Chain A
Amino acid sequence: MNRVSRLALCHYWVAFGLFLPAVVLGAWQMLMRSPLPAPLDDPNTYYISMSLHGTVMAYVLTTFFVMGFGYAVTATSLGRPVRGMMAAWVGFALCLFGTLLAAAAILAGRATVLYTFYPPLLASRWYYGGVLLLVGGSMIWVVLMILNMLAWKRDNPGAPVPLAMFAITATAYLWAWSASGVAAELMGVILPAAFGATAQIDAGLARTLFSVTLHSIVYFWLMPAYIAFYTLLPAAAGGRLYSDKMARLTFIMFLVFSLPVGMHHLFADPEHGDGFKFLQGFFTFFVVLPTLMTVFSICASLEIAGRARGGRGLLGWIGALPWNEPMVLATGLSLVMLGLGGLGGIINMSYAMNSMIHNTSWVTAHFHLIFGGAVVIMYFAIAYEMWPRMTGKPLRSKAMARWQLWLWFLGMLITTIPWHIAGLMGQPRRVAIFDYDIPVVARTAALVDVSVLGGVVLLISAILLILVLLRSHLGEKTVERPLRYALAVVAPTRLATSLNGFALWNAIVLVLMLVAYGYPIGQFLFVLKPHSAPAYNVTRDGADSD
Chain B
Amino acid sequence: MLAMLAVMMAVIVFTSVAHALHPPGNVETINPLTLHLEGEFMESNLGTALEPDGSVTVRLIAQQYSFVPNCLLVPAKTPVRFRLTSPDVIHGFLLVDTNVNTMIMPGFISEVRTSFARPGDYFLPCHEFCGLGHHGMWARVVVVPKEQFAKLSRTQRVGCEPG
B32 at the interface (CB under 8 A from A): yes
Which of A69-77, A269-277, A299-307 participates in binding chain B?
Answer: A269-277
Q: Which residue of B lies closest to A288 (CB)?
A: B5
B129 near A118: Cβ-Cβ < 8 Å: yes
A428 near B126: Cβ-Cβ < 8 Å: yes
Taken residue by residue from 262 to 288, chain A's Cβ proximity to chain B (1 for < 8 Å, 0 otherwise) reads as: 000011111111110110011001001
Q: B103 is contacted by which of A121, A270, A428, A534 (Cβ under 8 Å)? A: A270
A324 at the interface (CB under 8 A from B): no
B88 at the interface (CB under 8 A from A): yes
Q: Which residue of B lies closest to A276 (CB)?
A: B25
Which of A132-140, A170-178, A430-438 participates in binding chain B?
Answer: A430-438
A497 at the interface (CB under 8 A from B): no
Taken residue by residue from 67 to 100, chain B's Cβ proximity to chain A (1 for < 8 Å, 0 otherwise) reads as: 0000000000000000000111110101011011
B108 near A530: Cβ-Cβ < 8 Å: yes
Knowing A118-B90, A203-B90, A270-B109, say if A352 contacts B24 (CB, 8 Å): no
Knowing A268-B101, A533-B89, say if A204 contacts B108 (CB, 8 Å): yes
Nearest Cβ distance between residue A113 and chain B, in whole angstroms? Answer: 8
Nearest Cβ distance between residue A399 and chain B, in whole angstroms? Answer: 37
**B residues near A431, Cβ cutoff 8 Å:** 125, 134-135
Interface class of chain B by DSSP: loop
Nearest Cβ distance between residue A524 and chain B, in whole angstroms? Answer: 10
Knowing A274-B22, A440-B96, say if A358 contacts B31 (CB, 8 Å): no
**A residues near B88, Cβ cutoff 8 Å:** 120, 533-534, 536
B25 near A277: Cβ-Cβ < 8 Å: yes
Identify which of residues 95-128 in chain B touch chain A, using a CB-to-CB cut-off of 8 Å.
96-97, 99-111, 123, 125-128
Which of B9-17, B36-44, B152-160 participates in binding chain A?
Answer: B9-17
How far is it, in angstroms, between the C-alpha of A69 and the C-alpha of B11 when the chains are bound?
41
**B residues near A274, Cβ cutoff 8 Å:** 22-23, 25
How far is it, in angstroms, between the C-alpha of A426 and the C-alpha of B93 when the chains are bound?
11
How far is it, in angstroms, between the C-alpha of A346 and the C-alpha of B1 when the chains are bound?
14
**Among B16, B33, B86, B103, residue most surrounded by chain A Cβ atoms (within 10 Å):** B103
**B residues near A529, Cβ cutoff 8 Å:** 29
**B residues near A154, Cβ cutoff 8 Å:** none
**A residues near B21, Cβ cutoff 8 Å:** 351-352
Q: Which residue of B lies closest to A426 (CB)?
A: B96
Nearest Cβ distance between residue B89 and chain A, in whole angstroms? Answer: 5
Q: Which residue of B lies closest to A536 (CB)?
A: B89
B28 at the interface (CB under 8 A from A): yes
Q: A268 is contacted by which of B2, B24, B131 (Cβ under 8 Å)? A: B24
Knowing A270-B104, A531-B29, say if A285 contacts B89 (CB, 8 Å): no
Nearest Cβ distance between residue A28 and chain B, in whole angstroms? Answer: 16
Q: B27 is contacted by which of A271, A438, A533 (Cβ under 8 Å)? A: A271
How far is it, in angstroms, between the C-alpha of A433 and the C-alpha of B133 when the chains are bound?
10
Nearest Cβ distance between residue B49 and chain A, in whole angstroms? Answer: 20
**A residues near B1, Cβ cutoff 8 Å:** 292, 296
Knowing A43-B135, A204-B107, say if A426 contacts B97 (CB, 8 Å): yes
Q: Which residue of A lies closest to B16 (CB)?
A: A351
How far is it, in angstroms, between the C-alpha of A270 and the C-alpha of B15 when the chains are bound?
21
**A residues near B28, Cβ cutoff 8 Å:** 270
**Among B31, B88, B108, B123, residue most surrounded by chain A Cβ atoms (within 10 Å):** B108
A471 at the interface (CB under 8 A from B): no
A359 near B107: Cβ-Cβ < 8 Å: no
**B residues near A430, Cβ cutoff 8 Å:** 127-129, 134
- Count the B residues whose beta carbon is within 8 Å of the partner chain — how many? 58
Q: A43 is contacted by which of B31, B97, B105, B132 (Cβ under 8 Å)? A: B132
A397 at the interface (CB under 8 A from B): no
**A residues near B92, Cβ cutoff 8 Å:** 268, 359, 428
B30 at the interface (CB under 8 A from A): yes
Knowing A269-B103, A269-B105, A358-B101, say if A118 contacts B23 (CB, 8 Å): no
A202 at the interface (CB under 8 A from B): yes
A268 near B103: Cβ-Cβ < 8 Å: yes
A8 at the interface (CB under 8 A from B): no
Knowing A359-B128, A430-B129, say if A278 contacts B16 (CB, 8 Å): yes
**Among A113, A119, A346, A430, residue most surrounded by chain B Cβ atoms (within 10 Å):** A430
How far is it, in angstroms, between the C-alpha of A273 and the C-alpha of B110 when the chains are bound?
11
A335 at the interface (CB under 8 A from B): no
Nearest Cβ distance between residue B141 and chain A, in whole angstroms? Answer: 12
B150 at the interface (CB under 8 A from A): no
Knowing A114-B129, A531-B31, say if A120 contacts B12 (CB, 8 Å): no
Q: A440 is contacted by which of B102, B123, B132, B135 (Cβ under 8 Å)? A: B123
B29 near A352: Cβ-Cβ < 8 Å: no
How far is it, in angstroms, between the C-alpha of A429 and the C-alpha of B128 when the chains are bound?
7
Q: B9 is contacted by which of A47, A266, A282, A432 (Cβ under 8 Å)? A: A282
B33 near A531: Cβ-Cβ < 8 Å: yes
Can you offer 19 A-B residue contacts whose CB atoms are under 8 A? A43-B133, A47-B129, A203-B90, A270-B26, A270-B109, A271-B105, A271-B108, A272-B27, A285-B9, A352-B16, A359-B94, A426-B94, A426-B96, A531-B29, A531-B31, A531-B32, A531-B33, A533-B32, A533-B87
Q: Taking beta carbons and an 8 Å cutoff, which residues of A are in contact with B?
A: 43-44, 47, 112-114, 118-121, 202-204, 207, 266-275, 277-278, 281-282, 285, 288-289, 292, 296, 346, 350-352, 354-356, 358-360, 425-426, 428-434, 438, 440-441, 528-534, 536, 538
